[in-house]
A and B are shown apart, each in its own frame.
Chain A
Amino acid sequence: MNIGIIDYDAGNLKSVEIALNFLGGDYFVSSDPEKLIKSDKLIFPGVGEAYSSMEILRSRSLDNLLKEYFKKGNPILGICLGCQIILESSEERNTKCLGLVPGVSKVFSHDMGLKIPHMGWNQVQSTKEHYIFKDIPNNSSFYFVHSYYPEPDNSDSTIALTDYGISFSSAFSVANLVAVQFHPEKSGPHGLKMLDNFIKQGV
């Protein structure tokens, strides 16, 4: 069961790789769609800016890879920007995104009296049973760092909520895709458990 980690110069690529290595996951890092399409599972990491990240994805034909892979139905884990880019668009430089899941990424507003980025540990309240939260106590804290938040159109896809000025979908899932706004690779033991749940799912 090998896991492909998409290399599109995302800031947390290294951390995700180190975490998978620590967990003993069978993984490889690649920007080659031919190789990635053959992987059993896919991790779509992300720290960065939506517009330039979409440009890099397109230049490496990774946008098409993600669409094709999603149709194929194998498990995909999107992290942070990787969770925003799978929606249709982002308010970050009005970027057209992949559109795997209907919805948009919206910007947090200083008007709500918030510090931006939303940076630090916040509680994740699971609203639906999902394998990704297996053996993780509900309302555990995970590490967030982002200025935009995902808003999938279909609120039924939400599997966890987090409060920061508003209550937003900090995790959602459609078919075999699961997307999390926080960083499991930087969220201590609970985060590692979540990555392990992804690695072990279906094995």
Chain B
Amino acid sequence: MLQKRIIVCLDVRDGKTTKGIKFKGNVDIGDPVQMAEDYYKQGVDELVFYDITASSEKRGIMIDIVRKVAEKIFIPFSVGGGIRTLSDMKQVILAGAEKVSVNSSAVTNPLIISEGAAHFGKQCIVVGMDVEADFSKPSGYGIVINGGRTKVDLDALEWAKKIEKLGAGEIVLNSIDADGTKDGYELKLTRMISESVGIPVVASGGAGNSMHLADVFQKGKADAALIASMVHIDGYTIGGIKEFLNKENISVRI
């Protein structure tokens, strides 16, 4: 039976892991390569690195980190942030990442999804969606881009279906409303999207305790759950979370 995945997300700025709340204010919390190795040893299933470096001149720092991570951890990981072109994708894949994640750039240029899938295989292409409640939209949810700052005229459910059709291998579904609250994932949204597409959906935003992960797997029907501050700051361990999920009869890799 396919197991539910726990994915740790590391936001990287100028070569350091950083943590921000609702995209406002960031603090550096450690070295991404060292942190990746620690989580690997704890049994994390996958890692995601988001390059939130503001300037494109510093992109080389991220590629260097990807290369170092690939030499130390032997589980899949993806890289996102600032990826706009096939050549951006190629750079991170050649450095050793399994997957690349596009978000805002896919909204402004959806063809990057199909082009990426054709070049690197659909399993390489992850599309991140930043979603917020919007009652003017048919599904009740709309899409925001540029780290939650810009609203665009897209219905979240329609966009998710289009992402699948364009050939993405996976969706990372981030609830802007839940992000940073530690009140739990947006279950209704996660379930709606996960049950409407035929590709895996990774839930993101809102995890504050292990029960939140159990809920998003059982009630939200997520295939994987993204966590960050729970393990970066609040002292949870991957082993501890997995033990809890196991007791809740959720199949995870122990």
Contacts and interface: CB of A to CB of B under 8 A. Distances in A.
Interface residues of A, number: 38
B121 A22 contact: no
14 contacts: A11-B93, A11-B120, A11-B121, A14-B96, A15-B70, A18-B96, A47-B123, A118-B2, A120-B3, A120-B224, A121-B2, A121-B5, A145-B76, A164-B1
Interface in B181-223: 198-200, 223
Contacts of B123: 47, 117, 119, 145-146
Given A117-B122, A119-B169, A119-B200, A143 B75 contact: yes
B11 interface: no
Contacts of A117: 122-123, 169, 199-200
A138 to B, nearest CB: 14
Given A48-B121, A188-B40, A116 B199 contact: yes
Interface of B is mostly: loop
A192 B40 CA distance: 13
Interface string A1-27: 000000000011011001101100000
Contacts of B43: 188
A163 B1 contact: yes
Interface string A138-174: 0001011111000000000000000110000000000
Interface in A97-152: 110, 114-123, 141, 143-147
A186 interface: yes
A181 to B, nearest CB: 13
B122 A14 contact: no
B123 to A, nearest CB: 5
A49 interface: yes
Interface of B: 1-5, 40, 43, 45, 70-71, 74-76, 93-94, 96, 98, 120-124, 169-170, 198-200, 223-224, 253
A191 interface: yes
A120 B45 contact: yes
A191 B76 CA distance: 12
Contacts of A39: none
Contact of B98 (A15, A189, A191): A15
A15 B96 CA distance: 6
Contacts of A146: 123
Contact of A116 (B94, B124, B198): B198
A19 B2 contact: no
A47 B120 CA distance: 9
